[in-house]
Structure 1
Amino acid sequence: MQAYEVQEPTTDYEGVVQVERDRPEPGPGEALVRLRAASLNYRDLAIASADLAYPGTDLPVIPLSDGAGEVVAVGEDVQRLAEGDRVATPFAPDWIDGPYAPEKGARTTGGNVDGALAEYAAFPAESLPLVPDYLSDEEAASLSCAGLTAWRALVEDGDLTADETVLALGTGGVSTFALQFADLHGARTVVTSSSDEKLERARELGADETINYEATPEWGGTVAERVGGVDHVVEVGGPGTLEQSLEAAAPTGHVHLIGVLAGQDGLVHPGPILGKALTVEGVMGVGSRAMFDRMLDAMAAGEVTPVVDSVFAFDEAREAYRYLERGEHQGKVVVSLP
């Protein structure tokens, strides 16, 4: 079968190499998936880049946690799935239900378990969520990491309600899903970006307030002035943006720490956390299959369609990496499988 491997971290993703591999066979309790599309996350850049460091990776590895396709075979003792079922890939294949635990997140697809940038992949059948018919393969392939992370932060952990306000930093995959899920729940939304064009698109997707953070570097105070502070911050920047996020948060608000896109180094003053009794929590392990199922049910009920920015051909996978790194996207960057 055709696949890609991350063979070594490099500066221009030249270590992401197209290879021929034997087609896997499903073992007991497993399902074999014929993948039709896969999508990229910032994590995938970190795994393949010499300039970034991502722990818990075993190279060579077939990359990408996010994918979708159909079941073509099942192993012994599989009752839940059958040939022809459309499924999405799991980020943490051992986390089926219940609260997060280190052993449930020890194996990660595209990190230390072969991922979705291949024609076929085998996964524990219990880990694979069934995809609703209204989603295309490309849309379904965008959900496993970015979609589920945003859902877990706001809904599973944050108990989001219609009378609350959500701040999403930027317009990448996680932040765009956060905007859509907040809108689905009737919550008020604020989105930041350095691009006025992307902010206009965010308003089309339901954003109530938008702020260009280059034009307004002290955007935390601006958010607090406009909406009286937010109940949830989807924080993807890390130390580079956390100070402003704490400023934007309302008393007893939640800051969901998901990424470090603005860098891992920096000092954060704890005063706002103490003074406003804020909850700052890391979102670890993305989410369980049970959470994935609940997310898909809610999406189907509200007819939520993932925002796919662009689709690259399989032979253009490395260019998809480079495009994502340039930050020109809004929503998800997808690779179509042959």
Structure 2
Amino acid sequence: MKAMVLQSAAGLDRLTLADRPDPGVPGAGEIRVALHGSSLNFHDLGVATGRMPSADGRVPLADGAGVVDAVGDGVTEFQAGDNVVSCFFPDWQDGTPTVGDFRRTPGDGIDGFAQEHVVLPATAFTHSPAAYDAVEAATITTAGLTAWRALIVDGRLKAGDTVLLLGTGGVSIWALQIAKLMGATVAITSSSGEKLERAQDLGADFCVNYREQQQWGKTIRDWTGGRGVHHVVEVGGPGTLAQSIEAVRVGGHISLIGVLTGAAGEVPTAALMAKQARLQGLIVGSRREQQDFVRALDSSGIRPVVDRRFPLEQLADAFRYETSGRHFGKIGIEW
């Protein structure tokens, strides 16, 4: 069985295509899945480059989608031929968060989905959206579910709300599509005029080039008539948080989900307190939330934005493309 593995000295040049033992037949409560697609996340890049160290020989990629080959005894939710997609936290089934690390996250603490077959508990998967291919389905595991939880589960987004999105990566573009589906008004930032035009084509109502308008928090607040936005999907971290607090309205909600500008930094606590805003950290979501998300997608007609697809053996090149920052939406891996 073919698999991409990461050798001990992490780095993109240490990703190699290897033969791994076939996982065999599923046991009780398990399913065997023939995998056909994945997508890249900032977390995966951290593992691949060694910024987030993992075990020697680790199979990367947290997202995985494919077709059920066989089911073990006691499995009633799936049958052979079903299209399924993985869960980022396979042990978090429902309810409030129960995990705060990545020890059981595929592609980090355990082997991920850059391989041809897996045998795992049935509860580590959900059904895929009905109209999606494997790459499209894989985009919901991390980026899609993060956006869904930020806006719908935690943010309780409703029609007429205003939303600010930072950048045009996977989470932000998913959040744009979800917010427009719910009847929200959306502002989005980027340093690329071309990307902002593409965001407008997807329904963005207001675009800000943050290189041209470095005080973009005030620009967003002015756009709302001085009130500020109801929701901010904050993917930048310490380098952008102050501007996000400037942009949010009194009593608003900031979902802190990214560390693109660093893992630590100053928080303008007085400004946050004055805004009486809710600053909430989150990491993806539960299996139940993913099932809810899939039902919404099945009824909405939304399709994910996949910028480019790479074959499995070109995984290192796909990561290099991710580091270039040229992508819009998600980068897919397909085999």
Q: Same fold (TM over 0.5)?
A: yes
Query: Equivalent residues in 2 for 1:120-131 (5 A)?
Result: 120-131=117-128
> 1:106 Cα deviation (Å)?
4.5
Match of 2:162 in 1: 165
Counterparts of 2:256 and 2:27, CA distance in 1: 37
Match of 1:303 in 2: 301
Identity of aligned residues (%): 44
Does the 8 Å contact 1:9/1:48 carry over to 2? no
Match of 2:172 in 1: 175
| Regions of 4+ moved over 6 Å | none
What does the per-residue CA deviation read over 1:218-240, in whole Å, with 9 as the maximum and x for residues that have no partner?
10010000023111111110001
Unaligned runs of 5+ in 1: none
Does the 8 Å contact 1:95/1:127 carry over to 2? no
Match of 1:14 in 2: 13
Secondary structure of the corresponding residue to residue 47 of structure 2: helix
Does the 8 Å contact 2:8/2:55 carry over to 1? no
Pairing 1:115–2:115 present: no
Secondary structure of the corresponding residue to residue 261 of structure 2: coil
What amino acid is aligned across from residue 277 of structure 1 in structure 2?
Q
> 1:111 Cα deviation (Å)?
0.8
Query: Equivalent residues in 2 for 1:1-338 (5 A)?
Result: 1-11=1-11, 13-25=12-24, 26-50=26-50, 52=51, 54=52, 57-102=54-99, 106-227=103-224, 228-284=227-283, 286-337=284-335
What does the per-residue CA deviation read over 1:82-140, in whole Å, with 9 as the maximum and x for residues that have no partner?
11110001111111111111289751111112111110122210231111331122211
What amino acid is aligned across from residue 162 of structure 1 in structure 2?
A
TM-score normalised by the chain length of structure 2: 0.95
Counterparts of 1:148 and 1:8, CA distance in 2: 31
Secondary structure of the corresponding residue to residue 240 of structure 1: coil
What does the per-residue CA deviation read over 1:174-228, in whole Å, with 9 as the maximum and x for residues that have no partner?
0110111101100110100000000000001110111000001110010000023
What amino acid is aligned across from residue 150 of structure 1 in structure 2?
A
Secondary structure of the corresponding residue to residue 122 of structure 1: strand
Does the 8 Å contact 1:272/1:278 carry over to 2? no
> 1:59 Cα deviation (Å)?
3.5
> 1:10 Cα deviation (Å)?
3.7
TM-score normalised by the chain length of structure 1: 0.95
Q: Could you say if the C-alpha distance between residues 282 and 9 of structure 1 is closer, same or farther in structure 2, counting changes exceeding 3 Å?
A: farther
RMSD between superposed Cα atoms in Å: 1.5
Q: Could you say if the C-alpha distance between residues 149 and 247 of structure 1 is closer, same or farther in structure 2, counting changes exceeding 3 Å?
A: same
Does the 8 Å contact 2:4/2:312 carry over to 1? no
Q: Could you say if the C-alpha distance between residues 104 and 192 of structure 1 is closer, same or farther in structure 2, counting changes exceeding 3 Å?
A: closer
> 1:291 Cα deviation (Å)?
0.7
What does the per-residue CA deviation read over 1:225-277, in whole Å, with 9 as the maximum and x for residues that have no partner?
00231111111100011010110001111110001111224322111210010
